[in-house]
Structure 1
């Protein structure tokens, strides 16, 4: 049985288009003890490839973290397969708010040392002693409590385009960076404040809540199912939506629009914009925010230098990349020095005001 992809992303996209099937984008995670992640990985690949599942899945001895898409008509078969695995029976599945048949174009199931790069030594604390999970209704009530500190556990480029009102948005590039920063800045409030956290689908808060309880925080809460589940509950129950802007997602959609607010700006001209793109120069590939006018003017490039390179014959571009590796800018995610309107650095405890709606 083949345990790898034999089609390119372009070839897969063409097949999806020809098939004409509606696909669902789904995510889930589960912390559990997996004795042999490699065997488990192979089992998943064989079962899911048959169901036309595409996506990015990480498997480790501590569990599974999955973002994927599949034909809607195969969803019940997929759910039945998950339920046949003891620790995944009735696992919460986050269905995307906005669907796109091309959100994933390959099935990648990778064995990792961890399903989340948190930089923590799990042996030093009880990872099962988690914070209280709250639904959308209780979450809304908690964040209106003056005794609550609301913290966004995502990275700067995620919260830049959307976040909950009055949330603290750490100015970090990775999840592991945020943990000690938040702990230090909130150390005076370990006993008297509600520490309420949220992230995209819940996995980061799952680990962070246990970590902060270990560090002495007494009242720790996390949004059940993250932003994705929150939006579904708000729509189903007719609750007030307290999320403003877009929810960044880690697939080809890049984001789901949750409200009409545009709270970010084009990194090149400063006009209201919240669409992330990757620089068209493959040697750069910088992730940044670009408005439609700049996209047309700069031909999807982050700089005039990159634009000039994309006009070179392909073989010349390939020769320029040879031996160079990725540009360092690729890891800056919108913070490259040549972007005049990149996100400004700000203190973690800056009070956020409700932004003016732009559209």
Structure 2
């Protein structure tokens, strides 16, 4: 269970220190009462009893807080009765004042619990929206091992403008990672639109430039209807499209203004940053099938691709230094995808002190090095179902390589 899940369900779970504070409140009531009884009559410690309900409200609900407040009022009345001054003006004022303050603390506790319930509901809605928007990537996709990570910059947020998706298409896999300019609900809407368009178009276009052009048309139509007038021409999405064929040790990439991934080679070659030829971002109206290029890079068994959004490399420490992703990742080059992302997450949080300036999305993609992976892919290719065949009008693989 993640930290955000623990926060979401925190109201239903007993706080480990709640009973401790309740015991402290009871001890304080006894100590203050006894101290007031043994001190000279010109020293009044009874008003300090208000500390008990105040401490209780920190960890307990209104009912428990009210009980402790009533116990404090009773202790104040007992002090007055023991001193034979219960009906004196001074003691009456003290008792009434303590009762009013305790009631005020209970009222604040009620408001706090109501706000906490509302926040829990908002978080649950955000969690549901994230599950709908960012479907969890499968652990395996053909011959690939996958792992994904999303970190929201806002403490109370679960979703934002960063996005990723993957799809199995015939004899390979296609992946998308992107970053919507802006924040808030408009960014979430654009991310949802792009993800839906990719999940459908990934199966209907044989070449990455055609896929990029299809996504451009979808984003353009969306912005024409929903883009605010004050932000006309300023909203766009950077995206990186990848295609990993099963029968070739390569990866094809089309970048629409997105940062290049890191390639972690299995044979000790270290970490390299591919030199891509990016097209403009989606949404600016310049991306079409002829304007996008396909960069082909070696991607053999055991190699890992680390895809990320710019929130990773733009994360700063308290001195303003950017997170050195390229320098840190070589030490984890041989790790499985989920282990690699866990190392990056821990190191990134340590670098920033837990405060991210922008949302972060990462995908680790590793081509399986074992012979069993090749055997599994071979069985999939020879026993492919009819619905796994390329879409109508699909070009042969040799033609696609020539076009790339």
Q: State the TM bucket, normalised to the shorter chain.
A: under 0.3
Looking at secondary structure, tell me which structure has more helix per residue: 2
- TM-score, length basis structure 1: 0.22
TM-score relative to the length of structure 2: 0.20
